[in-house]
């Protein structure tokens, strides 16, 4: 029972991390640009951008979670037996995904 409980905790942790990262990505994409138009359509556009953070972000996070889980289970757990090294590689994957998100947003948007 303890093994299943630990696996469920890891799945939930990966899911939460992925949803938060995708919401952050969506928030960065919907940041307001330099135009300060105060027309009705620009106000609606701003509201739609903020709503997309809470709707599109979690959907993208839940779609991307199986990728993290497959990498974690098939590549990391099966190949690496040292638990400290496994934990450090997981943290490195999370940090690298964060850096990639911010780099892509800074370059292309």
pLDDT in tens, 33-85: 555 666 777 777 778 778 888 888 888 888 888 888 888 777 777 778 888 88
Distance CA 16, CA 65 (A): 9
Q: Are 60 and 22 in contact (CB under 8 A)?
A: yes
The pTM (predicted TM-score) of the whole model is 0.68
């Amino acid at each position: 029972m303890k093994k299943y409980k630990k696996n469920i905790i890891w799945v939930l942790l990966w899911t939460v991390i992925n949803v938060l990262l995708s919401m952050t990505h969506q928030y960065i994409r919907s940041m307001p640009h330099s135009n300060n138009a105060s027309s009705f359509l620009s106000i609606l556009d701003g509201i739609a951008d903020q709503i997309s953070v809470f709707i599109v972000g979690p959907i993208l996070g839940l779609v991307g979670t199986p990728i993290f889980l497959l990498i974690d289970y098939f590549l990391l757990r099966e190949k690496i037996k040292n638990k400290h090294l496994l934990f450090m590689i997981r943290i490195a994957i999370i940090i690298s995904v964060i850096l990639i998100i911010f780099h892509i947003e800074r370059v292309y948007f």
